[in-house]
Structure 1
Amino acid sequence: MNSTHKAPTMQYRIGQIVPSSNITMEREVPAIFAKRMEVLPERFSFHSSRVRMHRVVAEELAQMNRDMGRCAQELADARVDIMSTACLVATMCMGPGYHRQTVEDLSAEIGDVENMPAVMTSAGALVEELKDFGARRISLLAPYSDALTRTVIEYIETEGIVVQDAINFSILDNLEVGARDPMKLLEDVKQLNVTGVDVVVLSACVQMPSLPALEIAQQALGIPVTSTAACTVRQMLRRLNLRAEAPGAGALLGSRTGLA
């Protein structure tokens, strides 16, 4: 009797360092991976460690950056394969290119362990995955104050990507950001100047929900649409040497919805 040997399915552990008031990244990131698991063989589990932050203001963001080392150590104890910070603006408010320093600092906090995880940031994922996709000009939506939005724009442009237009909603309470209806973005994006851009970033914030609106916005605009959460998943997959694809999560994860 012939038997067919099946190769074992690869299992990966995904770790996130999440602000204590973030209620989005532990939903959207697993949701994107769940759709991927419907069509591709790799399996994923999800693990997080939380660091205190309630209001999206400079003082709390700086304190959160100082406290993230503990979270990195905790996730390393779980032997995650990859870990990412889950707060874009906390990194960007520290100055241009700071995502590289964050990776160095967190790696140092983990130290010499048997299974060293790949370390990344959501801020780095946004700029690096946009560049890898070929985006040189973007427009974006963000929940931040005017000052923090300017910081985000300057950070992105320092990385060589032009921000043609940005709309921000000046929401300081992070729980309010997470409670915002993602479908409102479909009306918001109509006010955004997207002429000639390569990509629209529907949410330049990992706390502002956008996943249910990504494909609808891309269909309406006929332009590649993404979010920081989607870019985070893309970089996780690329760092794990896996196909950077997932259904229903915008062009940077392989969707051709609405595109010529």
Structure 2
Amino acid sequence: METEIPALLRARETISPERFTFHSSRMRMKHVTKEELAAMDAASDRCALELSDAAVDVMGYACLVAIMSMGHGYHRESQARLHQVTVDNGNSAPVVSSAGALVDGIKAIGAKKVAIVAPYMKPLTEMVVNYIRSEGIEVTEWRALEISDNLAVAGHDPARLPGIVASMEQIGDVDAVVLSACVQMPSLPAVSIVEAQVGKPVLTAAIATTWAMLKSLDLDTRVPGGGTLLSGAY
């Protein structure tokens, strides 16, 4: 949230007049486990309240797996509740989540079947896969990188991602590739490489969240280096 989304919006500033500032409030998590994710999500109301003090124009809930671990469809409940926090604080702001944005982004480009790369341990990755399936999207193949330490997720080398995708046996059967189902795991430098490699749209949680934020602000969604979803066509 604090690296790739600002990077995408800075890239947009090179071709569009709007300028952005970035504000963050943190929900604590060290290890990506279901227990820590639940505790993290419980702190989201505090974060929304703090950010609404700054009268921001849009808020993004970064952690995809925190939302998806709370039950199918939870992104709608979370977004509505956090938006109400901003309303009650007198600074109403739309709230998007990386979980909801990824689902909406996949549907926006017309993809029915996807392949997914995620940094999580296998049980959490299966939870993410099942959440996406519950939204009517077929997940044909997935890879769990099984990185439990949250800082290690951020330190994963995106240069490894093209090789990981190349190892997927059913990549020819999908409509799109989710290169990182996690805003924390860096992937932006590999997006255009993998799009060229597989000849299919490639999107990430960070790209989808940026797209959802721009849509909520009623701004053009063309961002250099943002892949198919941020081509401006959606």
Indicate the TM-score class for this superposition, using the shorter chain for normalisation. over 0.9
Inter-partner Cα distance in structure 2 for 1:255 and 1:238: 11
Question: Which has the higher relative contact order, 1 or 2, with Cα contacts under 8 A spaced 6 or more apart?
Answer: 2
The within-5 A match list for 1:1-260 is 25-192=1-168, 193-254=170-231
Question: Contact 1:62/1:90 (CA < 8 Å) preserved in 2?
Answer: yes
Tell me the CA shift for residue 125 of structure 1: 0.4
| Helix, strand or coil at the partner of 1:223 | coil
- Structure with a larger share of its residues in strand: 1
Question: Contact 1:248/1:255 (CA < 8 Å) preserved in 2?
Answer: no
Inter-partner Cα distance in structure 2 for 1:112 and 1:146: 39
Tell me the CA shift for residue 154 of structure 1: 0.5
Inter-partner Cα distance in structure 2 for 1:216 and 1:179: 20
| Helix, strand or coil at the partner of 1:45 | coil
- Which segments of 5 or more consecutive residues in structure 1 lack a partner in the other structure? 1-24
Question: Contact 1:96/1:158 (CA < 8 Å) preserved in 2?
Answer: yes
For residue 217 of structure 2, what is the amino acid of its counterpart? L
| Helix, strand or coil at the partner of 1:64 | helix
Percent of pairs identical after alignment? 47
Question: Contact 1:230/1:252 (CA < 8 Å) preserved in 2?
Answer: yes
Tell me the CA shift for residue 70 of structure 1: 0.8
Question: Contact 1:249/1:255 (CA < 8 Å) preserved in 2?
Answer: no
| Helix, strand or coil at the partner of 2:224 | coil
For residue 224 of structure 1, what is the amino acid of its counterpart? P
Q: TM-score, normalised by structure 1?
A: 0.87
Tell me the CA shift for residue 113 of structure 1: 4.0
For residues 104-130 of structure 1, the C-alpha deviation after alignment (integer angstroms, 9 at most, x for no partner) is 221233343443111111100000111
For residue 145 of structure 2, what is the amino acid of its counterpart? F
For residues 184-228 of structure 1, the C-alpha deviation after alignment (integer angstroms, 9 at most, x for no partner) is 101111012211311101101111110010011111111111100
- Closer/same/farther in 2, CA of residues 127 and 164 from structure 1, 3 Å limit: same
| Helix, strand or coil at the partner of 1:139 | strand
Question: Contact 2:118/2:181 (CA < 8 Å) preserved in 1?
Answer: yes
- Which segments of 5 or more consecutive residues in structure 2 lack a partner in the other structure? none
Question: Contact 1:247/1:255 (CA < 8 Å) preserved in 2?
Answer: no
Inter-partner Cα distance in structure 2 for 1:27 and 1:209: 8
Number of positions where the alignment pairs a residue of Structure 1 with one of Structure 2: 232
- Structure (1 or 2) with the larger CA radius of gyration: 1
For residues 146-181 of structure 1, the C-alpha deviation after alignment (integer angstroms, 9 at most, x for no partner) is 111110010001101100100111111111111010
Question: Contact 2:221/2:232 (CA < 8 Å) preserved in 1?
Answer: no
Question: Contact 1:186/1:213 (CA < 8 Å) preserved in 2?
Answer: yes
- Mean alpha-carbon deviation: is it higher for 110-119 or for 195-204? 110-119
